[in-house]
Structure 1
Amino acid sequence: MSTYKNILVAVDGSQEAEWALQKAVTIAKNDNATLVLAHVIDTRNYPTIEAYDTTIRDRSETFANDLIKKYKEQAEAAGVTNVVGDIVLGSPKGQISKDLPKKHNIDLIVCGATGLNVVERFLIGSVSESVVRHARCDVMIVRTEEA
């Protein structure tokens, strides 16, 4: 079995992301790996949304900072010694599968299986599906809370 050095876990505040975090923390602790907590602020629709709500960008950044802080504290309390938070703007698919792994020299990506509906999945695909397809390192898709 591989020993991982740099683990990326994608977090968005969903239940699936919480499960992914729990599993990533366990692996990072067992392998003495660096855990990178990543949140991608999806800015593709900002121009349209900001026409109606000019505070959306600030609220997104506040949410992201609070989320990463909370998860970092949880990971450190569980015994992970090296935890890094990274908040980026852009497309979650590209950031999680390509840009962030390159930036942090990632050898394992852990993300939750999100619940897009059938139509969305057919038209645009899920983030986790894109990560599996395009990542150049190992990927773990978490569907359950079980260890």
Structure 2
Amino acid sequence: MVVQQYRRILVPVDGSEEAELAFKKSVAVAKRNGDETELHLLHVIDTRAFQNISSFDSSMVEQVTKTAKKTLDEYVDYAKKQGVAKVSYTIEYGAPKTIIARDVPQKLNADLIMIGATGLNAVERILIGSVTEFVTRTAVCDVMVIRTNLDNKPVAVPKK
């Protein structure tokens, strides 16, 4: 029997609890798959969120970027302390859905995306769409949606 060995794992992180669980589980997968496994973290700053602000200035984007870098540096440090040798990150700007599902996985030649389950309820998904749902439908590689904690217990009761 052949066991799938993922070598280039992409983990989108956005500061949510779901994304942090996906990150922590990705660290465990990377460790199990060996020293050749590359773990790549991705944070996408949705620049469309700034387009509606009339007093937009670049300092807002700079502050969001600074906060993201701090969090990503902490994640890299955690992964390395857990024994993952190859861990890196990028910060991208634009529409998260296509960047996560297509652009970055193609650029990195990723073979797995580990993404947190959405925290949106059904009405919110209809109105604004779920990044996770889009990624699972359109990604250029395998996608694992993380719905449980490190003990494989549900994080919360699903919203109705």
Contact 2:50 2:56 in 1 (8 A): no
Give the CA RMSD over aligned residues. 1.3
2:69 partner SS: helix
Offset of residue 137 of structure 1: 1.1
1:136 aligns with 2:144: no
1:117 aligns with 2:121: yes
Structure 1 runs (4+) greater than 4 angstroms displaced: none
Q: Give the fraction of aligned pairs with identical amino acids, expressed as a percent.
A: 46
Work out which of the two has the higher radius of gyration on C-alpha atoms and give 1 or 2: 2
1:126 aligns with 2:111: no
| Contact preservation (8 Å) 2:30, 2:39 | yes
**Mapped pair 1:66 → 2:70:** yes
1:93 maps onto 2:121 in alignment: no
The total of aligned residue pairs comes to 146
TM-score normalised over the length of structure 1: 0.93
CA-CA distance at 1:125 after TM superposition: 1.8
In structure 1, what is the equivalent of residue 81 of structure 2? 77
Aligned match of 1:3: 5
Compare 75-84 and 116-125 and name the one that shifted more: 116-125
Matched, 1:17 2:19: yes
Equivalent of 2:108 in 101, 104, 116: 104
Deviation digits for residues 73-112 of structure 1 (CA, Å, limit 9, x no counterpart)? 0111111000011110011110110001011110000010
CA contact (8 A) 2:106 2:140 kept: no
What's the TM-score once normalised by structure 2's chain length?
Answer: 0.86
